[in-house]
Amino acid sequence: MRRSRPDLFTEVKGRQERLRADGAGSWADEFDEAVLGGATGTEIRGRLGIVLDRIREADDVSRDDRWDRPPAAPHDPPRGATAMRRLATALLLLAGVCSIAAPSLASAQTTATATLTSEQKLRLYLNQGIARVGGGWVLSANNTLARVDDKLRAKLVKQLAIPTPWRVKGYGHIGDIDVVGKVVYAPLEQSVYTRGTQATARYDAKTLRFIDAVELAQHENSFVTVDPATMIAYSMDNFGGDALLRYDVRAGWKPLAPLVMSHFVDKVQGADVAAGAVWLSTTDATNGLYRVDLKTGRVDDLGSAGHLGGEGEGIDATKLPSGRIHTLTIDANGAPVWLGHFAVTG
Ligand SMILES: [Ca+2]
């Protein structure tokens, strides 16, 4: 049976973990860098050749018993050889991923690039979500909403923003938010992802007062964004995926057909719909930024939000003098949180 690309990625990732357990972690990292780091199909195939050369070299090394491990029992293969076999198997899988992924990745190749134009340090530790309002921003953290001005000075902080009845149901986390008109749309997440139910709430954008919430059939809920032109809301079923869920807000959040994306994007933490696209921020190895065409689902890789080793979080795509997109990123040291402004070309 033909397997989907996400399944293959999952399989390769699992094998990578076993490679790391066998002491072949540096090669496992090569996979991450090449496959999950946004390389093009051509680059992946080039790096694949390099990794295969290293396997051949390492085979010689393992025969020379230079793995710096205790000798294996006579009936057991050397651990190095086991790791090599696993790596070779994983590479075969990787080749499968490449052959499937390459056309998609190639089609995703554009000259579109996000370039940091300026960066601000948040005074508050509001690290999850961001949405533009006149003169400033609404920010979210686990159970807090806040309004800040353009200099990021706090204007209103609403702690315990999730009402008790919803907290009792397990909803303890607010992800990346959006604002349309006078309403903040906020994804509430409960941590039992297998339950298959999450919630999205509305708050008054001026007072940050809770209005209401609706439960939705999705496993995770890192973001919501609402297109003001159509009042269609977008989210994702899981943190990684190759489709965006769509809901008709005016029809009581009736599910619509998902928007199929041209390739899988992992660890999505934020999104904003603007200018005919949904702009995604991730917390993958590069804190990657992506643009998904609303009509075609084509995914453009825009590059990195920076602060590698930190965590990419929410995004807003209001065109401002400071830039086209604006991202929250947690510093690699765990604090502070940065608001980066990016110009996008292409
Ligand atoms: Ca947002």
In 205-296, where do the E strands start and end? 210-216, 225-227, 232-235, 241-248, 254-265, 268-274, 277-282, 288-293
Assess whether the previous peptide bond of 336 is cis (omega < 30° from 0): yes
CA atoms within 13 A on the CB side of 77: 11
CA 313 – ligand 1 centroid, Å: 9
Q: What sign does the dihedral 99-103-105-110 (CA atoms) show?
A: positive
Cα(86)–Cα(90) distance, rounded to whole angstroms?
Answer: 6
Residues with CB under 5 A from ligand 1 (ion): 131, 176, 272, 314, 316
* CATH superfamily name and code, 113-345: TolB, C-terminal domain (2.120.10.30)
Q: How far apart are CA 189 and CA 167, in angstroms?
A: 10
CA of 199 to the centre of ligand 1 (A): 16
Nearest to 96 by CA among 35, 137, 175: 35
List the domain boundaries for the chain: 5-108, 113-345
Tokens of 187: 């994804």
Return the exposure string of 16-31: e unless at least 16 CB atoms fall within 10 Å of the residue's CB, then b.
bebbeebebeebbebb
Q: What percent of the chain has a predicted confidence (pLDDT) above 90?
A: 67
Q: For residues 126 and 118, what is the distance between their CA atoms, to the nearest angstrom?
A: 19
Residue 5 is predicted with a pLDDT of 46
pTM: 0.70
pLDDT in tens, 232-268: 999 999 999 999 999 999 999 999 999 999 999 999 9
| 140/147 Cα distance (integer angstroms) | 9
Give how far Cα 22 sits from Cα of 27, 28, 64, 78, 91, Å: 11, 10, 17, 11, 16
Span from the CA of 239 to the centroid of ligand 1 (angstroms): 15
Q: pLDDT tens-digit profile of 153-210?
A: 999 999 999 999 999 999 999 999 999 999 999 999 999 999 999 999 999 999 999 9
- Between the CA of 315 and the centroid of ligand 1 the distance, in Å, is 5
**Residue 57 pLDDT exceeds 50:** no
List the end-to-end C-alpha distance of the chain, in Å, as a whole number: 38
Residue 186 host element (H or E): strand 183-190
Using DSSP, state whether 33 is helix, strand or coil. Answer: helix
* Among the listed residues 328, 327, 323, the one whose alpha carbon sits nearest the alpha carbon of residue 342: 323
> Do residues 38 and 301 touch, judged by C-beta distance below 8 A?
yes
Q: What percent of the chain has pLDDT over 70?
A: 68
Given a cut of 60, is residue 107 above it in pLDDT?
no
> Please, are residues 156 and 147 in contact by the beta-carbon 8 Å criterion?
yes
225 CA from centroid of ligand 1 (Å): 6
- The 10s digit of each residue's pLDDT in 278-328 is 999 999 999 999 999 999 999 999 999 999 999 999 999 999 999 999 999
d(CA 136, CA 146): 11
- CA 198 to ligand 1 center in whole angstroms: 18
Distance from Cα 230 to the centre of ligand 1, integer Å: 17
Q: How far is the CA of 273 from the centre of ligand 1 (A)?
A: 9
Q: Distance from the CA of 169 to the center of ligand 1, in angstroms?
A: 24
CA–centroid distance, residue 326 to ligand 1 (Å): 9
- How far apart CA 262 and CA 134 sit, in angstroms, is 34
Distance 251 CA to ligand 1 centre (A): 22
Average pLDDT, the chain: 81
